[in-house]
Amino acid sequence: MNIQPSNIRWHEAKVSKQDRHFLNQHKSCVLWFTGLSGAGKSSLSIAVEKVLYDYQIRSYVLDGDNIRYGLSNNLGFSPADRKENIRRIGEVSKLFVDAGLFTITAFISPYREDRSIVREMFEGNEFVEIYVKCSLEECERRDPKGLYRKARIGEIKDFTGISAPYEEPLNAEIVIENDKQSLEMSVDQIITYLKKNRFLKSN
């Protein structure tokens, strides 16, 4: 049975997000990595987290595959299920940001509308969209999990880029040309943005 909104209420905490920022000595935000399968989202998000750790930033990676082991293990890949998956991740990310963490998400999140809905959950500049741009041809060449091959022969339905659409971000805060630059260059591009926008202190 669904609980009706009239029967629930939000409980305010005694410790605010600003209090957690003061304790952590840094702001919190969500770094939302989006792009085709094989574009390099997971590898880049993990590398960024390591650098943030070296900066003594409290962070956590929410990876698309990992989330489908638990939180979204009852969802498929239909447009409706993809929408619900992103909604769940948005809500979890919002809680993590409120907890004072740099929240790093790595999801295909193919639809602009869904990403826009998640963006609206956050305050000010807390949502940083990072488009990991990589040509379909290069993603297919890499095909780390063999998914494109299966999609091409019809073994996987609703596969983004082949039998389902990917809508490129129109105004992403960061665009990573991941088929044209090294992992180190991509990480540096993101860290530079975070410093410039005062999420990180410049040394």
Q: How far are the Cα atoms of 9, 10, 87, 121, 127 from residue 6, in angstroms, in the given order?
A: 8, 11, 21, 21, 29
42 is in an annotated binding site: yes
Here the tokens at position 203 are: 């040394």
124 is in an annotated binding site: no
Please report, as a single letter, which amino acid is at residue 10. Answer: W
37 is in an annotated binding site: yes
- Is 102 in contact with 31 (CB distance < 8 Å)? yes
> What single string gives the DSSP state of each residue in 84-102?
HHHHHHHHHHHHHHHTT-E
Kindly give, in sequence order, each residue whose CB lies less than 8 Å from that of residue 24, ignoring residues fewer than 6 positions away.
57, 58, 100
31 is in an annotated binding site: no
41 is in an annotated binding site: yes
Is 109 tagged catalytic? yes
How many other CB atoms are there within 10 angstroms of residue 187's CB atom? 19
202 is in an annotated binding site: no
- Choose the catalytic residue: 59, 72, 109, 186: 109
> Which residues share a beta bridge with 105?
32, 62
Residues at the binding site for ATP are: 35-42
Residues at the binding site are: 35-42
What residues are annotated to the active site?
109
